[in-house]
Amino acid sequence: MPRAGLSTTAVVDAALAVVDEQGLEALTLTAVAARTGVAVPSLYKHVGSLGELRVLIGVRVFEETAERLAAVAIGRSRDDAVAALMHAYRGYVLEHPARYAAMVPDPLHEPAYVAAGTKLLEVFLAVLSHYGLEGSDAVHAVRRLRAVVHGFASIEATGGFGMAEDTDVTYAQLIAMYLASLPRD
């Protein structure tokens, strides 16, 4: 019988706490069991393996990111929505760098991640739809947006910008550059 209060969701929550505190490389079933106060075999009632737990974490991170980005974009359009989305995306990465590392690079071609990855993609596409972008133009715009935010935030989260200038200023310039790449009609 599973321990009262322990569920798959609770196991994923505990795993995310381990990742947030110690990094993705520290994620083990032993660490999660210790965090939940159970023996490792008890975890198998909720997750089949460490690999499955990693997938559940990755899915959760995609879902969290999609929810955060959708929330900031609601009620906004065009440049305002894109800038808000870019700030929120960067904020998520900086708040949860180890958690963010659990996202697979191409969720649309990983069966376990397709639904969650599609949710995130739909947020990007919805925001960019205000520019009339469709088909391959929309795909290219999403790729540019993701590359700018992911690249900058990933470098920043790992301490890669050691020069004295304010990273917020640089990021504002990147947002302006990206916005200038979008249709203006």
- pLDDT by 10s per residue, the chain, length 185: 445 579 999 999 999 999 999 999 999 999 999 999 999 999 999 999 999 999 999 999 999 999 999 999 999 999 999 999 999 999 999 999 999 999 999 999 999 999 999 999 999 999 999 999 999 999 999 999 999 999 999 999 999 999 989 999 999 999 999 999 999 87
Q: Which domains does the chain have, with CATH numbers?
A: 1-48 (1.10.10.60), 57-180 (1.10.357.10)
Angle at 170 between CA 167 and CA 175, to 5 degrees: 125
Q: From residue 23, give the alpha-carbon distance in Å to each of 27, 60, 102, 157, 182.
A: 7, 16, 10, 13, 36
Helix axes 8-22, 50-73, angle to 10 degrees: 80
Percentage with pLDDT > 70 across the chain: 98
The total of other beta-carbon atoms located within 10 Å of residue 61's CB is 23
d(CA 59, CA 6): 19
Q: What is the pTM of this model?
A: 0.91
Residue-wise pLDDT tens digits, 80-128: 999 999 999 999 999 999 999 999 999 999 999 999 999 999 999 999 9
How many whole angstroms separate alpha carbon 74 and alpha carbon 35?
36
